[in-house]
Amino acid sequence: MAEPVLSSLRIEPLNLAHLARCRVIADSGSLPRFQTFLISDWLARFEQRFPDILPSRSPRCLVALEADQLLAMIVIYPYNRRGTCWTLHLPELIGKVRNHSLREVRHDLLQNALHLGTPQSYSWVIRCPASDVDAIALLRELGFQPLRPYQSWLPPRLSINAQQTVLADSVTWCPINRHTAQLLWSVEQIGNFSHLRQIKDRHWLDILDRSGPGCGILMDGETVLAGCIRLTESSEQRNFELLRGMAWDTRLDRALPVMLARILQQGAPHTLVTDFDDVLLGQILEAQGWQRGAEQLLLGRSMWRRHIAHRNLHISRSLDEVFSRLRPQGTPLPNPTLGPR
């Protein structure tokens, strides 16, 4: 008996035909979400045509189909305005996979997403749960390397005490603007090692794109104590990242509970992400009722190359020409001798 022929797996950018033919989109009630991705994909293509004029801000979307049936999707976002680094989200399963394995669908989506960026795209980052061994193995196969571990925190279930929302002394809670973004960007740069800074390739203007409700900077004069920004490496808009300097500042003992209370009131976060090894910050979060969530791993893939000047063989000179300059041009003078006369 002849074996059945597997239908081909197609990876395509999201378009209007997918919204009209794929019933799974309408049945799941996610049509407005896909319409938003479609408009964003159109804007992203327009931005890529004029990279020197328009900053890269809009995401792109790819879908995996089998016989006009939508199986999964993947969304990639520009990580900086220059478009040199993009962040990927793990593929999201939508339909039922029958003739292909889940790993095959994930692999094809990720591989095609890596070729979806602009010509100046040199690096990619992705954040995934540290316990997802299959996803990490697949990403390692595609050239990603682990860069940094993170700890996610779930917000407390109890209501916030109103007395915790008042800052004492000279510490202030400032919004993210063009001035404070430069100060927070310096703190973020110091906290990352050189290879990670090269992969992210971020400018202080990129911090402005990560602001929103619940985001802000804890400052004392011109000194940044801590900052909260939106996490763009996640598909959820209510995921935040908490940043602070390398050394622990004792002013954080009193100011951090107030900062966390304002983040809860203004941003209603789904999760809050911190450095995995930040023990002191973890103790304050636990004291405020935050619960430890899943550990996360940031992986990166870089195509940066060091530019080496190639040797021009046409201007290379022979050894005779080089040593000819060492020969005396005039009549040699006699050398004095110290021998007997």
**pLDDT tens digits, one per residue of 296-321:** 999 999 876 544 444 444 445 555 56
Q: Which of 36-40, 107-111, 118-122 has the highest mean pLDDT?
A: 107-111
**Band of pLDDT at residue 135, cut at 50, 70 and 90:** very high
Domain encompassing residue 20: 10-121
Residue 130 domain-assigned? no
> In the predicted model, is pLDDT for residue 221 greater than 70?
yes
Verify that 76 and 217 share a domain, yes or no. no
Mean pLDDT of 285-296: 94
Rounded alpha-carbon distances, angstroms, from residue 251 to 107, 168, 180: 47, 10, 19
Verify that 159 and 109 share a domain, yes or no. no
Contact 225, 245 (CB under 8 A): yes
Verify that 95 and 196 share a domain, yes or no. no
pLDDT score, position 162: 44
Mean pLDDT of 89-94: 88
Residue 331 domain-assigned? no
Residue 144 domain-assigned? no
Verify that 296 and 159 share a domain, yes or no. yes
Verify that 67 and 174 share a domain, yes or no. no
Verify that 106 and 177 share a domain, yes or no. no
Q: Which of 100-109, 110-119, 325-334 has the lowest mean pLDDT?
A: 325-334
Residue 102 domain-assigned? yes
Verify that 107 and 167 share a domain, yes or no. no
Verify that 87 and 29 share a domain, yes or no. yes
Q: How far apart are CA 153 and CA 239, in angstroms?
A: 10
**Band of pLDDT at residue 328, cut at 50, 70 and 90:** low
DSSP 266-324: HH--SEEEEETT-HHHHHHHHHTT-EEEEEEEEEEEE------PPP-GGG---HHHHHH
Q: Which of 121-135, 148-162, 245-259 has the lowest mean pLDDT?
A: 148-162
Q: Which helix (H) or strand (E) holds 17?
A: helix 16-21
Residue 335 domain-assigned? no
Residue 68 phi/psi, 5-degree rounding, is 65, 15
pLDDT in tens, 30-85: 788 888 888 988 888 888 888 778 888 888 999 998 877 888 899 999 998 888 89
> In the predicted model, is pLDDT for residue 198 greater than 60?
yes
**What pTM value is reported for the model?**
0.80
Q: Which helix (H) or strand (E) holds 325?
A: none
Q: Hey, what amino acid is at 216?
A: G
Residue 216 pairs with which residues in a beta bridge?
228
Residue 106 domain-assigned? yes
pLDDT score, position 141: 94
Residue 274 domain-assigned? yes
Residue 69 domain-assigned? yes
b/e string for 22-56 if b means 16 or more Cβ within 10 A?
Answer: beebeeeeeeeebeebbebbeebeebbeebeeeeb
Q: How many structural domains comprise the chain?
A: 2
Rounded alpha-carbon distances, angstroms, from residue 277 to 134, 225, 287: 24, 18, 17
Verify that 163 and 28 share a domain, yes or no. no
Residue 107's domain is classified under what CATH number? 3.40.630
Residue 191's domain is classified under what CATH number? 3.40.630.30
Mean pLDDT of the residues in the chain: 82
> In the predicted model, is pLDDT for residue 153 greater than 60?
yes
User: Rounded to 10 degrees, what is the CA torsion of 13, 19, 21, 22?
Assistant: 80
> In the predicted model, is pLDDT for residue 4 greater than 70?
no
Q: How far apart are CA 27 and CA 25, in angstroms?
A: 6
Which ranges of 50-193 would DSSP assign to H, the alpha helix? 102-113, 133-141, 178-191
**Band of pLDDT at residue 327, cut at 50, 70 and 90:** low
Verify that 86 and 24 share a domain, yes or no. yes
Give, as one character, the DSSP assignment of residue 29.
T
Verify that 111 and 177 share a domain, yes or no. no
Query: The tokens 């906290």 sit on which residue?
Result: 191
